[in-house]
């Protein structure tokens, strides 16, 4: 138990980093463009949390405002306006 308490910051960092990598893999593998965009949003937020854990709060705020806010809204508008369909193979 003492090991967990002493290394809580490192364990939390690795868990959040693994979630960020999982979100990035989701961006690549998901067939639905909307689901891929949500996985990208999750990746952006996890990277912002990593910035906070490394005491770079300004970069975390910029990450959330610029990327998670502005860029994701742009991606979702493009997906809705272009009417992208699911990339599933036809039977």
pLDDT tens by residue, 42-76? 999 999 999 999 999 999 999 999 988 888 888 88
Residue at 76 is within a domain: yes
Residue at 6 is within a domain: yes
90, two tokens: 């036809």
Residue at 88 is within a domain: no
What is the span of the domain harbouring residue 13? Answer: 2-82
C-beta separation of 24 from 42 below 8 A: no
pTM value is: 0.82
Residue at 89 is within a domain: no
User: How distant, in Å, are the alpha carbons of 15, 16, 18, 38, 48 from that of 62?
Assistant: 22, 18, 22, 19, 9
Residue at 72 is within a domain: yes
If pLDDT is split at 50, 70 and 90, which confidence band does 88 have?
Answer: low
83, two tokens: 């009417």
Residue at 78 is within a domain: yes
The number of domains in the chain is 1
The CATH number of whichever domain residue 51 belongs to comes to 1.20.120.1200
């Amino acid at each position: 138990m003492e090991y967990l308490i002493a290394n809580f910051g490192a364990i939390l960092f690795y868990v959040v980093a693994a979630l960020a990598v999982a979100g990035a893999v989701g961006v690549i593998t998901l067939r639905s463009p909307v689901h891929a965009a949500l996985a990208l949003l999750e990746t952006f937020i996890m990277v912002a949390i990593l910035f906070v854990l490394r005491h770079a709060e300004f970069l975390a705020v910029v990450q959330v405002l610029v990327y998670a806010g502005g860029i994701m809204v742009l991606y979702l508008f493009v997906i809705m306006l272009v009417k992208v369909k699911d990339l599933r193979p036809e039977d």
